[in-house]
């Protein structure tokens, strides 16, 4: 019975594949649960450092702010590690569930093995009816086994478990912490450069007013102001950045300079002040994107 023999061989290969996948899943569960305690220790340390850093985030000295920024950077790295360990903690807490699923899968595999034995016996005895019945039962239980394996694999990726929420909440706190530290640094820099920023704003305004109309460009190194008669190109210092932010709605665009972004625009003087048409030019793949805004400034 060559056809029957081929069918039995195919079923035997299918059984072996399911058995291997089940053994692999069992090994994965057992190996992952070993690091459960490492996750909880890591999160305890992270929460302690976060509380310390959050108390320091509104400091008014560079030393304390730098220390807070370093802690925040370290916390990001530690959270990456904790995120990898989170699965171990989840599996430790859900051990009863996944152990039960694995036991059910083993029993299903045993039933599948019994039908495979019947098929082999029927094939040897050339019992077509018995072979057909055993094969139909094998196919039915094979689908059931595969469904269980899919469910088991899902238990290895439980992203909605509350433990992952702990990690996400900590990451959100670190992100907020870094943003706050950046704002405080910015505020300190602005206060120290207040006089320079004020003078720079006046210089930019005066250039545009005297020229009447023209263009301006900002890259990650320079600010260029031009008219029909003159061109002024100066280094993009912190004071100039602050001055531009106060004159135009380009704070986000300035942050993207040096990463493929360029700020350009036109200015034109009128009775109500100077009208600015300012845009960000960026490259996305093979496309060049330009977004423009209009604003008016007056002294």
Tens of pLDDT, residues 98-123: 888 888 888 888 888 888 888 888 88
The partner residues of 215 in beta bridges, in order of sequence, read 226, 266
Instruction: Say whether pLDDT at 3 is over 70.
Output: no
Q: Which helix (H) or strand (E) holds 205?
A: helix 194-211
Across 175-186, average pLDDT: 89
Hey, which residues does 235 pair with through a beta bridge?
Answer: 222
The token pair that represents 50 in the structure block: 């976060």
* Predicted local distance difference test score (pLDDT) of residue 2: 47
> Bridge partners of 280?
263, 291
Cα–Cα distance between 198 and 267 in angstroms, integer? Answer: 20
Q: Which of 46-50, 61-65, 278-282, 292-296 has the largest mean confidence?
A: 46-50
Return the higher-pLDDT residue of 234 and 259. Answer: 234
Can you give the pLDDT at residue 207?
93
């Amino acid at each position: 019975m060559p056809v029957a023999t081929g069918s039995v061989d195919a079923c035997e290969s299918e059984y072996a594949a399911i058995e291997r996948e089940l053994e692999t899943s069992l090994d994965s569960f057992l190996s992952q649960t070993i690091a459960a305690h490492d996750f909880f220790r890591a999160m305890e340390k992270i929460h302690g450092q976060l509380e310390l850093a959050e108390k320091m985030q509104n400091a008014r000295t560079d030393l304390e702010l730098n220390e807070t920024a370093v802690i925040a950077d370290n916390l990001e790295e530690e959270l990456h590690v904790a995120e990898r360990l989170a699965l171990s903690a989840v599996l430790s807490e859900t051990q009863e569930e996944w152990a039960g699923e694995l036991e059910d899968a083993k029993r299903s595999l045993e039933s599948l093995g019994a039908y495979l034995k019947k098929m082999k016996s029927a094939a040897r005895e050339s019992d077509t009816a018995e072979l057909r019945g055993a094969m139909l039962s094998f196919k039915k239980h094979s689908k059931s086994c595969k469904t269980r394996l899919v469910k088991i694999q899902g238990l290895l990726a439980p992203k909605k478990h509350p433990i992952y929420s702990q990690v996400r909440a900590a990451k959100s706190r670190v992100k907020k912490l870094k943003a706050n530290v950046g704002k405080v640094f910015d505020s300190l820099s602005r206060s120290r450069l207040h006089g320079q920023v004020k003078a720079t704003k006046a210089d930019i305004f005066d250039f545009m007013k005297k020229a009447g109309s023209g263009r301006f460009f900002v890259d990650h190194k320079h600010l260029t102001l031009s008219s029909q008669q003159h061109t002024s190109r100066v280094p993009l210092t912190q004071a100039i950045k602050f001055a531009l932010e106060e004159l135009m709605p380009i704070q986000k665009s300035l942050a993207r300079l040096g990463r493929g972004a360029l700020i350009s625009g036109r200015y034109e003087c009128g009775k109500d002040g100077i009208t600015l048409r300012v845009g960000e030019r960026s490259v996305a793949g093979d496309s060049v994107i330009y977004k423009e805004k209009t604003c008016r400034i007056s002294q």
